[in-house]
Every structure is written in structure tokens, then in C-alpha cells.
Amino acid sequence: MSETRILKDEKEEYHLFRSRAVVAGLAVLFLLSVIGVRLFYLQISNHENLTQLAQENYQKRIPIPPVRGQIYDRNGIVLADNKIEYVLEVVRNIAKDMDENIALLQQLIPISQKEVSKFKQQLRVNSRFQPVILRSALTEEEIAIFSVNRYRFPGFAVNIRTERVYPLGSVASHVIGYVGRIDTRDLERLGKNEYKGSTHVGKTGIERFYEERLHGKAGFKKVEMDAHSEPQRTLAEESPISGEDLFLSLDLELQIKAEQLLEGKRGAIVAMDPRNGEILAMASVPMFDSNLFVNGISYKNYNALRDDMDRPLFNRALQGAYPPGSTIKPMAALAGLDAGVVTNKRSVKGRGFFQIPGTRRHYRCWKKTGHGHISLNRAIYQSCDVYFYDLAYRMGIDRYSKAMRKFGFGSKTGIDLPHERSGLMPTPEWKLKRHKTNWYPGDTVNVGIGQGYWTASPLQLAHATATVAMRGRRMMPHVLKAVRVSRNLPEKPVRPIALPSVSVKDRQWDAVVQGMVNVVHGPMGTARGSGAGAKYRFAGKTGTAQVFGIAQNKTYNAAKLAKRLHDHSLFVAFAPLEKPKIALSVIVENGGGGSAVAAPIARQLLDSYLLPKPKVEPETIQVDGDDKLKKEKQASDNSTLSDGNA
């Protein structure tokens, strides 16, 4: 029965099947055309986009950091160098079983537990693609041992690292500055591409100011990576261009001398070549060791530096704002002469104090008995306050301030170092804005002797002194003397930049400079002790900047005041008189009178720079210098003459 049914249905079933097969075939075509559309979308519409994604997948641009330029002094002595060392680095993304691998590695090359814990700490901080140093300063033998076993340690690699070293430690540390690890703030201001392979960047000083020159241009290597980040082959390569070597105008010997002379004190010295604005020495004491910052200063060290009352991180020479005191009297005299307020001939009666006409307040001279009738020349070499009270009062603050600005006071010198401060050359407008009060004639009188609101940096003082030395010709101070793009090429000198000069008549220059000469060489000069026995002639001016306000009718008693309230001791000078080669300013914080402390220091520096040097080893020079310093100190202590203004 079943057989007949099958036979009966055979044809009908065949047709049923055939129609179903046709429908199925159409469904197959339809569904596969959906796949076809999808392939069309991927391979034509989205082709470019996906090709780019594919390239991003496997093409990696590995930056090659350039070698940082070196820094030398003017005689080619290295101030900032690169130490090349081999380090063992680990990329967390690739490395597996970190603890196990480190333990295995420790059997091959010595890695201390301290290094391991430091490494683990760094691992946490860095991204998993960033190589982190496990061991530094690998020996050749260790490199060989590791290389043989490299295949066992994926993600571990020996790489060359250059590390910044400052061979002289703290010498000129404020000028040279230091490099440190790049942080997020640095990344905001730096070109991200240029710094992709770099780890360090200049943070302060020359290292920061000439960062672009020192850093050089990063190269890159475009490599093909597989999915496990193992490089397969190099597709393109561009070598990095090393940073430029910088030759500073600093004279290392003078710099060290300056720093030694300030040792144990707080203060600053700026010495420059007045002819071209080259900074010969810029000392700020206390100092710090630049090397501490290179690999990240420890909290302990940093806090110690930051919280030190003597502020070693602060560059006094550039950022210090000191009342310039009597050191500005030569410039004030020139301003007065130029304005016709004083003449070379006319004398002023010095009674020991100055009174603004119609008032009773006494502006005292440092010499209570008064200087009697005093000429311009004597007013300078004896530093008569009353003469300059009168000068400023009669000139008026507007003219006075304008004339002093021509010497650079109240504005930045434009030196090639970061964070310069402009100091303050006050005007009535400034006072109204800042203190919301009017300018009083008494303010003018105080400014007349470099006190009151007036502040200046040691650099500005040296610069203004250089201007006097060059009789008005002003050059922009600078630290960079020459640049060497490549070791094979000669150094290219940096062209000095001239600034607007101060034009005063020649005989007026003569008169003022004569006053300054008499300060050191005259029989009654305030710093005649420091000028004695010089083998060359020079010009100088003492200054004492008041830190502590003294009430009317009181006398200044150094012994009774706390050391930090003592006056600042200042001295400016240039030499040789006939053809000035050096101009300098010395400031010793709370040092007391200018003639007692600052002037002898200046004399020693001038001697050291101008006199022919004995051919001896640097160490002996240092010892020599110390002895000299002590002798000079005794000499200056013995000299009773002190200059002070109140």
C-alpha cells in the first residue's frame, strides 16, 4: 500500500521539490548579495579609512631623541655634559611574569633589591608602553650576558641613554640651570612631536632659555610592528640632529672666584664686559647642585632647598630686588648735570641733613656732622646724601625717574636667561596705582639716594655701571657667546646687541667718572682701602642699602640689630679706567657698609681678572684665593671708614 502511494505521489513530489529548490536558490542569491553589498561597503566605500587603520595597526613611528648640546664656558671648559650609559629597560606591555623574569635575570646580572623596588615604583607611574629602567650603568660584560639570553626575556632590552651631568656641580648653577624629567606642564609648552623620545627638558637657566638650540631635532624610525609589538623591519628612517653646543661668555675662573668670595654669605656678583655686554661672571650665593635635579630630586632634598631661609634656588643676581643705595649716585649726578640742576662747579651746603623747604622733617646724611660745602666730585667720592636729596628734589621725580630709566632701571635688561625681574623705578603714576596714594616730595628725596621704592637687581646695577664705563654706550647683557652647530664646524659668535645709549656731554662723563675714581683712589674716597696698591686704575662706588627703617633721631647700631636686619653692602666698579674691560656689581646681603664688605670683594675680582695669572693648578689658585680673602677681610675690618646712608 505504501508502495503504491509513493508511486502515485512521485511526480507531484518532484514538482513540489523543484519549486522549493527554486525558492531556496533565490534566497541563496539574495542573502549572498547582502554579503556582497557588505564587502562593497568595506572594500570600496570604506577602503581608505580601513587602510589607514591598518597602517596605524602596524606602522609605528619610533622617535629617536637627539643628543643634547653641551655647554662650555668662554674658554671651552665643559659646564654641562652628556654621560652615555647602557641601561636595561622593560616595557610592561610586552613583558610577562615580571617577578619571575626579574628573578631569572638576577641570576645572570646583579640587580639589587633596591633597584627592583625603585623599578616597580616607576612601573606604576609610567604607562604600560613606556620603557622603564630596571638597571642602569651596565658593563660590557653584562650587556653581552643579557644579549645572549635576550630571547628569554620579551619586553626587556638594553638601550643607550644619555644623562645630563654638570661636572662642576654647583658652580654657576643659577646661570646654567638644570634639566629635569618632562612633566605635564612642560608638555603643554613644548612641541609634542619633537619631545616624543626625549625624557628631559631644560627647567631653568641657560638649559631652559636655549632649550630649542640645546635639544636639537628629533629623528624617527618608522617600523613595522607585528601584533605583539615586535619590530619586523624598518620602513623609513630620519636621523636626529644633535643640539647645538653653546659657549657661554662666563669666565669660569672668575665665576669660581666670585662664588668663593661670597662663600658663607648671601649675595650676588655680576661681572660683565662693558664693551659688548658679555656676562663674565654671575654668582648668586648660596648655590645648589644642578645634578640633584636631573633624575628627579628627592622630596627631602627639594624641601631642604626650598625651605632654606637663605633661598639657594633663588637667583639673586637676576631676580633680587635690592634698594640700590648710593651705587646709583654717579648716574644721578649725570642726570642732574644733564638737566642743569647741578653743575660741576656749584657747591651745595651739607649740614648733615636735608629739609624739604617748608617742612620740618630731617633727611639725614650718613655723616651726622655734615660735609660742609660740597662739590659734585666730593659728593660722589664721599657719598654725600644731602647733595643727592637736593638734586632729586630739585629735579622732580618725573625727570629723575625718566633719566634713570635710560640706564635701564625699572626694566628688564633683556639678558638671555629666564625669569629676569625688572626691579622698580618708581613714578607717581605707579604709586597711585599700586598704593592708591599720592606721591609725596619726601618719596622723591628717598629715591634720590637709591632708597624708598626703588629696587634694582645686581644685573641692572652692573649694566648701569657698564654704561657709565662706556660713557653712555649700552650693550644688551648676554650669556651666550658663541654657538657650534656641529663638532666639525667652527663656533659661530653671537652678535652683541646695542641698546639706546645715554647721551650726556663728555665733560660731564669726565666729572662723574673722576668722582668714582676718587672713591677708590682718592685720599678721602669711601673705598680708598680697596683701591690701595692697585696695579691699574679703576672707578667704583660704594652703597649701603637700608633694610630696616630707622626712626627719626635714632642712630643705626649694627651691633644691636639682628643680622638679617643689617644693611646690605653694595659696590659697583669698572676697570681699567682708561679702557674698561670689566664692570661689576657686588651685593652682600646684610653685610653692612659697602666699603667694608662689598668693595674688597670687588677689588679681588678685578685683580683676578686683570692681573696676569700665575701658571698654577686650579686647586692651588683656590687655596691661594682663600688666603687672600682672609687677609683682605682683616684689612677691611681694620679700616674704620664706613659709608652708610639713612
Partner 1 sequence: MYESLGIFRHIWEVLSKLDLVLLISLIILLTLGGITLHSASGENAAMMQRHFIHLAIATVAMVISAQLPSHILTQWSVWAYSGGIILLVLVLFQGSMGGGAQRWLEFGAFRFQPSEIMKLAVPMMVASYFSNKTLPPKFLHILVAAVLVLIPMLLIARQPDLGTALLVGSAGFFVIYFAGIAWKWLIAMFISLAAAAPLLFYFGMEAYQRQRVLTLLDPGSDKLGSGYQIIQSTIAIGSGGVYGKGWLNGDQSRLDFLPERHTDFIFAIFGEEFGLLGNLILLSIYIFIIWRGLYLATCGIDTFSRLLGGSLSLTFFVYLLVNTGMVSGILPVVGVPLPLISYGGTSMVTLMAAFGLLMGLKKRKIGYGNA
Contact positions vs partner 1 (CB under 8 A): 2, 5-6, 9, 12-14, 16-18, 20-21, 24-25, 28-29, 31-32, 34-36, 38-40, 42-44, 46-47, 49-51, 53-54, 57-58, 224-228, 232
Q: Which residues contact 475 (CB under 8 A, 6 or more apart)?
A: 274, 275, 276, 277, 466, 496, 497, 498, 499
Q: Compute the least distance from the CB of residue 492 to partner 1, in Å.
A: 47
- Closer residue to partner 1 (CB): 56 or 140: 56
**Interstrand relation of 492-493 and 582-588 (parallel, antiparallel or unpaired):** unpaired
Q: Cβ of residue 101: shortest distance to partner 1, in angstroms?
A: 22
CA angle 58-96-60, nearest 5°? Answer: 15
Q: How far is the CB of 55 from partner 1 (least distance, A)?
A: 8
State whether residue 580 is helix, strand or coil.
coil
Smallest distance, Å, CB 176 to partner 1?
46
List 170, 290, 326, 642, catalytic entry: 326
Give me the least distance between CB of 102 and partner 1, in Å please. Answer: 26
Give the strand pairing for 245-248 and 480-484: antiparallel
Rounded to the nearest angstrom, the gap between the alpha carbon of residue 455 and the centroid of all alpha carbons in its chain is 21
The residue length of the chain stands at: 646
The C-alpha R_g of the chain, in whole angstroms, comes to 37
- Beta carbon nearer to partner 1, 8 or 373: 8
Number of other residues whose CB lies within 10 A of the CB of residue 430:
15
Q: What is the DSSP string of 198-215?
A: --EEE-SHHHHHTHHHHH
CB of 63 to partner 1, least distance (A): 21
Spatial CA neighbour of 500 closest among 478, 472, 521: 472
Q: Rounded CA gap, 450 and 460, in Å?
A: 13
Cα–Cα dist 238/258, whole Å: 45
Burial class (CB in 10 A: 0-12, 13-18, 19+), 115: middle
Minimum CB separation from partner 1 for residue 62, in Å?
Answer: 16
Least distance between partner 1 and beta carbon 38 (Å): 5
Contacts of 255 (CB under 8 A, 6+ apart): 73, 171, 172, 280, 281, 282, 283
Q: Which is nearer to partner 1, 230 or 637 (CB)?
A: 230
Beta carbons within 8 Å of 243's beta carbon, 6+ residues apart: 66, 67, 68, 69, 213, 214, 215, 216
Q: If we measure between CA atoms, which residue out of 404, 457, 395, 458 comes closest to residue 426?
A: 404
First-to-last C-alpha distance (Å) of the chain: 139
Minimal distance in Å, beta carbon 223 to partner 1?
11
> To which residue does cell 670683594 refer?
601
Strand order in the sheet with 582-588: 279-285, 267-272, 582-588, 568-575, 539-545
Residue 20, CA distances (Å) to 424, 510, 582, 616 in order: 100, 121, 108, 111
Whether 539 contacts 517, CB under 8 Å: yes
What phi and psi, each to the nearest 5 degrees, are found at residue 132?
-120, 135
Q: 243 is written with which cell numbers?
A: 643640539
**Residue 45 designated active-site:** no
What positions carry a catalytic annotation?
Answer: 326
